[in-house]
């Protein structure tokens, strides 16, 4: 990107995301993202999940090159920054500490303010990176590896959780199924790809009976486990012979649970501004089914670019911009927290 002109200069932020296994840095100038660099950790692929200790060490190796790259692509020098933002939670504490310590040290050295961002709020605010942007109030289905929530968004930082998972997250249901199938972590994108040529109606899994807007995925996960055990005892090649249909059927079951709840929430809140966010919102079947549902119900549907669905620092920068505008800064004594609520 070209260097900043004088007009573009007035607010320039660096944001850092390190809550799980992605080390990411982004530069935003005057409300526009100029760079969004992500180092994804391949180290966890064989483990079926993120190993916290390995993640922290990888963040330490990645953070300096990723921040340098983000500044260089943005054409911004360190002394042109007005504030530094970081993810303060929720997430893996060791991973969060790397980003937080780096951001604090850099802000101290440059003598500029620090901005603390809630990762889940940032997923929602990723919708303000590009047009069309949702109007307030809107409902956001936020589905990631650690969370599954329906959020009622009244303003940038006025968010209420209308429903959430009582056990596993939707992303976990994808990832754990993928592990049972012998697929690498993270399993969601791999299953999405395999499901493209599979039959979503070949195998059926039960939908949990939860009357309110909360979710549960543990029953589906157990049903998948028992089903696989039974079929494999009859035919040891069951997975190999049915992989695409199986992925498509599991994906269909997870997506239907999500869509039925958002439809219910839309009715309950009388809201037709509907958005999705978080890693699972990159799922092509969810995007397709939700688009069909939006047409049926006359919803205005907002689906972010896939780059802004999975963990990224651009969403942290976008959220930080709205905090910067109201001078919402934190002191150097701030600490990240593994659990964090709105």
Residue ranges in contact with ligand KG4 by CB under 6 A? 20, 144-146, 171, 174-175, 186-189, 192, 278-280, 282-283, 310-311
Instruction: Looking at residues 255 to 314 of the shown chain, list those that interact with Zn ion (rule: CB under 5 A).
Output: 311
Distances (CA, A) of 181 to 55, 187, 197, 239, 273: 24, 9, 17, 7, 37
Closest CA to 112 of 6, 16, 14, 8: 14
Q: Are 180 and 224 in contact (CB under 8 A)?
A: yes
The nearer residue to ligand KG4, 115 or 126, going by C-beta atoms, is 126
Size, binding site for Zn ion by CB under 5 A: 2
C-alpha 195/C-alpha 183 separation (Å) is 13
In the complex, the smallest distance separating the C-beta of residue 96 from ligand KG4, rounded to whole angstroms, is 12
Contacts of 48 (CB under 8 A, 6+ apart): 175, 176, 179, 185
Binds 99: which of Zn ion, ligand KG4, none (CB < 5-8 Å by kind): none
Smaller CB separation from ligand KG4, 71 or 261: 261
Question: Which CB atom, from 29 or from 172, has the smaller least distance to ligand KG4?
Answer: 172
Burial grade of 130 (CB within 10 A; 0-12, 13-18, 19 or more) = middle
Binder among 62, 144, 149, 251 for Zn ion (CB under 5 A): 144
In the complex, least distance from residue 76 CB atom to Zn ion, rounded to whole angstroms: 25
- Answer yes or no whether residue 41 interacts with Zn ion by CB under 5 A: no
Residues 84 and 12: beta-carbon distance below 8 Å: no
Binding mask 183-222 for Zn ion (x = CB under 5 A): ----------------------------------------
The residue among 268 and 306 lying less far from ligand KG4, judged by its C-beta, is 306
**Spatial contact of 203 and 227, defined as CB atoms under 8 Å apart:** yes
Minimum gap (Å) between residue 278 Cβ and Zn ion: 6
Interface contacts to Zn ion, rule CB under 5 A: 144, 311
């Amino acid at each position: 990107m070209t260097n900043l002109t004088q007009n573009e200069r007035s607010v320039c932020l660096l944001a850092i995301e390190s809550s799980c296994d992605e080390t990411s840095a982004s530069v935003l100038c005057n409300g526009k993202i100029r760079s969004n660099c992500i180092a994804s950790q391949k180290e966890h692929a064989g483990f079926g999940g993120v190993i916290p200790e390995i993640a922290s060490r990888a963040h330490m190796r990645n953070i300096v090159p990723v921040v340098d790259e983000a500044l260089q692509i943005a054409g911004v020098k360190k002394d042109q920054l007005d504030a530094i933002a970081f993810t303060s939670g929720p997430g893996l504490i060791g991973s969060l500490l790397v980003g937080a310590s780096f951001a604090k040290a850099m802000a101290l050295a440059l003598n500029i303010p620090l901005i603390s961002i809630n990762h889940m709020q940032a997923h929602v605010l990723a919708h303000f990176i590009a047009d069309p942007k949702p109007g307030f109030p809107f409902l956001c289905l936020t589905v990631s590896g650690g969370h599954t929530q329906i959020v009622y968004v009244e303003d940038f930082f006025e968010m209420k959780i209308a429903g959430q998972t009582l056990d596993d997250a939707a992303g976990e249901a994808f990832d754990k199924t993928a592990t049972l199938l012998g697929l690498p972590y993270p399993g969601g994108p791999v299953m999405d790809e395999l499901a493209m040529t599979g039959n979503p109606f070949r195998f059926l899994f039960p939908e949990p009976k939860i009357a309110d807007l909360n979710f549960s995925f543990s029953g589906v996960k157990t049903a998948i486990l028992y089903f696989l055990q039974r079929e494999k005892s009859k035919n040891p090649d069951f997975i190999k012979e049915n992989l695409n249909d199986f992925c498509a059927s599991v994906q269909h079951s997870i997506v239907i649970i999500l869509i039925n709840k958002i439809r219910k929430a839309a009715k309950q809140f009388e809201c037709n501004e509907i958005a999705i966010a978080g890693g699972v919102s990159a799922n092509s079947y969810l995007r397709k089914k939700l688009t069909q549902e939006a047409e049926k119900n006359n919803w205005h549907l907002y689906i972010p670019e896939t780059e802004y669905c999975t963990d990224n620092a651009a969403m942290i920068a976008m959220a930080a911009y709205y905090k910067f505008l109201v001078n919402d800064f934190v002191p150097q004594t701030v600490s990240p927290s593994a659990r964090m609520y709105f």
